[in-house]
Structure 1
């Protein structure tokens, strides 16, 4: 049971890292044309929806696995 709990915690950390990488990769800057002539152009961020969805799913999985891993470790410690 301890091996399973540690495995869940390791996978939770990997899922959290994947969520961060996915979130960072989801945005890219674009130049927005001015509305009026003579005004400067501005920049904005555009987000890629599938990567945002992936990051949210990975964050959810990381949270669930972390809770399960800690619960398995605590349950094992309480039965000794």
Structure 2
């Protein structure tokens, strides 16, 4: 049982790393055209929705796995 809980914690850490890398890969900066003539252009961040969804799913999975694994270790 202890081995299974430790494996769950390892998978939770991997899911958290995947969450962060997915979140960082989801955004990119783009140049926004000026509204009026003579104004400077600005930068904005655009996000890719599927990668943000993956990031949220991985965060939820990491949280659930961490809680369940810690509870299993404490029960022992």
- Scaled to the shorter chain, the TM-score interval is over 0.9
Counterpart-to-counterpart distance in 2, 1:55 and 1:75:
30
2:33 equivalent in structure 1:
33
Q: Aligned pairs, how many?
A: 76
Give the gaps of 5 or more residues in structure 2.
Answer: none
Cα distance in 2 for partners of 1:38, 1:73 equals 64
Q: Secondary structure at the residue paired with 2:50?
A: helix
Q: Where does the alignment leave 5 or more consecutive residues of structure 1 unmatched?
A: none
Structure 1 length as normaliser, TM-score? Answer: 0.94
TM-score between the two structures when normalised by the length of structure 2: 0.99
Pairwise CA distance, 1:56: 0.2
Q: Which residue of 2 aligns with 1:7?
A: 7
The 4+ residue runs of structure 1 with deviation greater than 2 A are none
Report SS of the residue matched to 2:43: strand
Q: CA deviation at 1:57?
A: 0.2
Whole-Å Cα distance in 2 between the matches of residues 75 and 4 of structure 1? Answer: 13
How far 1:69 moved relative to its partner? 0.5
